[in-house]
Amino acid sequence: MNLKDQFTDIPFFSPKVVAEVNDVFVKAAKIKGQEVPWHNHANEDELFYIVEGSLLFEVENEPSFTMNKGDLFVVKKGVNHRVSSEEECLIMLVEPKSTAHTGKVASAISKSIEEQHY
């Protein structure tokens, strides 16, 4: 499988499960513009890897920072965070299968785990 090919048919803000490793999903996601709401994952860490583009990353009570192609960052469980991007950004996420897309925060972009399989 070519990871970049997995971004072709996915809408913005809608992660797609592209692989499974033990109890972990590998997901492709792309964003542009609108911010993902502040949220956290109470019981799971979440790995972000930038495949292409730049991502503004905000972590509560920390200075915001920009991730660029090739950068990797792990958000620890329980940490409030949100991301946004002015231009299209392609992201690979690695997270436990139980991880809710936007934590317990319901928003227009929230997707169930079932909706991420397409």
Give per-residue pLDDT as tens, 38-93.
Answer: 988 899 999 999 999 999 999 999 999 999 999 999 999 999 999 999 999 999 99
Q: Which fold has domain 3-109?
A: Jelly Rolls (2.60.120)
**Bridge partners of residue 110, in order along the sequence:** none
Tokens describing residue 77: 């469980």
Q: pTM of this prediction? A: 0.84
Give per-residue pLDDT as tens, 49-64.
Answer: 999 999 999 999 999 9
For the chain, domain boundaries? 3-109
How close are the terminal C-alpha atoms of the chain, in Å? 15
pLDDT higher than 90, residue 33? no
Contact in structure between 76 and 43 (CB atoms under 8 Å): no
Weakest mean pLDDT among 77-81, 96-100, 104-108: 104-108
